Amino acid sequence: MPRRPAPSRKLGGSPDAGHSGIPYPVAIESTLAEERKCTVKQEQTTRAVIERFNAALNRHDVDGVMALMSPDCVFENTFPAPDGERYEGHQAVRGFWERLLADAPKATFTTEEIFTTGNRGVVRWRYVWGDDTGPSGYVRGVDLFLVRDGRVAEKLSYVKG
């Protein structure tokens, strides 16, 4: 039976060392720490983009909303059931927001909860519509966001009921 060669000690002085000369457990911990820093920064960016998007939507600022959406953005509406309507690209998505906000000038979205992981975000919301006499109805739902390069690339909406 052939003999196995002895572990090389050139790279880090021990058989537990990686190619960088840093022992494997330390190298792995360092890599994971760096990845976590990147993930935390991405999550903070994702959350900030989503919060700015929702603020622009509540101001009924279509230009502000669209400035936060990528040119190849995708939006899936909650209506008609069961799958909603899909809008692709700036022009189609802008048209949807213009119609929605013109039809419901007093409407508001209230964020009930938001969380992010990497470049994905989830927002649980309440949408209230009405007129000058007050609210006339509401629905609750969830949006799934994909943020890419500081812009919303995808917003998929779902509602209860």
Q: Domain boundaries in the chain?
A: 24-159
Mean predicted confidence (pLDDT) in 52-64: 97
pLDDT attached to residue 128: 93
pLDDT attached to residue 14: 45
Mean predicted confidence (pLDDT) in 28-47: 72
State which H helix or E strand residue 57 sits in: helix 24-58
pLDDT attached to residue 101: 92
pLDDT attached to residue 121: 96
Sheet holding 134-148, edge to edge: 86-88, 69-76, 151-159, 134-148, 120-131, 108-117
- How does residue 61 score in pLDDT terms, banded at 50, 70 and 90? very high
- How does residue 15 score in pLDDT terms, banded at 50, 70 and 90? very low
Q: Structurally, what CATH architecture does the domain formed by 24-159 represent? A: Roll (3.10)
What's the chain's length in residues?
Answer: 161
pTM of the model: 0.75
- State yes or no: pLDDT of 9 exceeds 50: no
